[in-house]
């Protein structure tokens, strides 16, 4: 099951569940934080519940390993609880938690691959200058209804997994988790222009990879049919 499918089953977000406007929501969230810090620790789950599934999805899409993602998601929530006094309320709690999750996932990647984050970020410039997207007018070459088919969902998940880490992070937070550009920038400690650039390139790379996989499957199916 791909991340977007999981997200659809995770329920509505905190804003929708409570029917609050952004100002009321922020006030309610600050009140919850204050109560937890005052000793009502059982209310911490109310902060985490609306975004806990997307925390796991974020970790899963970065790490591409369910067991590691479970551990990272748990560690991110624990770290958020231990450091709740550091949450200043300048953004949503969920955005702050996503940022912790991304950092934890990055650290796990460093340990797994023995590659430093600095090296990954340095590779970004080279990727941006060498990648040449396919010259297609838009996404209409991919029928929307085809995405509902299980086989193509698997191919789409594989295409997402094939993206370089720094592009996949932006795509996951913005297009799968539904964060705004500003929230994505904050979660990844990037500038707004950098997020927009990476997001555009990630979408192009995802499109091209997905089309290539679909084309390969189509050729394979035709070959089998001729035998």
**CA 202 to mean position of chain CA atoms:** 12
With bands split at pLDDT 50, 70 and 90, how would you rate the model's confidence at 17?
very low
Please report where in the chains the tokens 């920038």 appear, as a residue: 185
Tokens of 146: 């085809």
**CA 168 to mean position of chain CA atoms:** 7
- Confidence (pLDDT) at 91: 85
Contact (CB, 8 A) for 63 and 110: no
- Confidence (pLDDT) at 153: 73
Distance CA 84, CA 86 (A): 5
CA distances from 58 to 52, 144, 183, 214 (A): 10, 24, 14, 25
Distance CA 6, CA 15 (A): 19
Does the pLDDT at position 96 exceed 90?
yes
Tokens of 51: 């975004």
- Confidence (pLDDT) at 176: 85
- Confidence (pLDDT) at 140: 44
Does the pLDDT at position 190 exceed 60?
yes
- What percent of the chain has a predicted confidence (pLDDT) above 70? 67
13-17, 101-105, 172-176: which is most confident: 101-105
With bands split at pLDDT 50, 70 and 90, how would you rate the model's confidence at 89?
confident
CA distances from 79 to 31, 38, 191 (A): 20, 18, 25
**132/11: higher pLDDT:** 132
Q: What is the pLDDT of residues 27-62, one digit of tens each?
A: 888 899 999 999 999 999 999 998 999 999 999 989
pTM > 0.85: yes or no: no
> Where would I find the beta strands (DSSP E) of 65-138?
none
Contact (CB, 8 A) for 54 and 7: yes
Task: Show the domains of the chain with their CATH numbers.
Answer: 1-116 (1.10.1740.10), 123-218 (1.10.10.10)
């Amino acid at each position: 099951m791909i991340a977007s499918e999981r997200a659809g089953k995770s329920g509505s977000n905190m804003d929708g569940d409570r029917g609050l406007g952004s100002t009321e929501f922020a006030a309610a969230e600050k009140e919850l934080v204050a109560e937890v810090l005052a000793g009502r620790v059982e209310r911490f789950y109310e902060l985490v519940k609306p975004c806990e599934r997307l925390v796991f999805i974020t970790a899963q899409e970065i790490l591409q390993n369910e067991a590691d993602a479970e551990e990272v998601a748990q560690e991110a929530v624990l770290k958020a609880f231990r450091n709740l006094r550091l949450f200043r309320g300048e953004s949503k709690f969920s955005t702050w938690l996503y940022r912790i999750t991304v950092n934890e996932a990055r650290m796990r990647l460093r340990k797994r691959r023995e590659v430093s984050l600095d090296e990954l970020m340095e590779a970004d410039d080279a990727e941006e200058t060498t990648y040449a997207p396919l010259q297609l007018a838009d996404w209409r070459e991919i029928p929307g209804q085809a995405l509902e088919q299980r086989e193509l969902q698997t191919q789409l998940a594989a295409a997402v997994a094939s993206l370089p880490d720094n592009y996949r992070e932006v795509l996951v937070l913005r297009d799968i988790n539904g964060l705004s550009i500003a929230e994505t920038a904050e979660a990844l400690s990037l500038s707004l222009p950098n997020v927009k650039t990476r997001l555009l390139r990630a979408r192009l790379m995802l499109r091209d990879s997905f089309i290539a996989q679909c084309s390969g499957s189509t050729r394979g199916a035709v070959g089998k049919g001729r035998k």
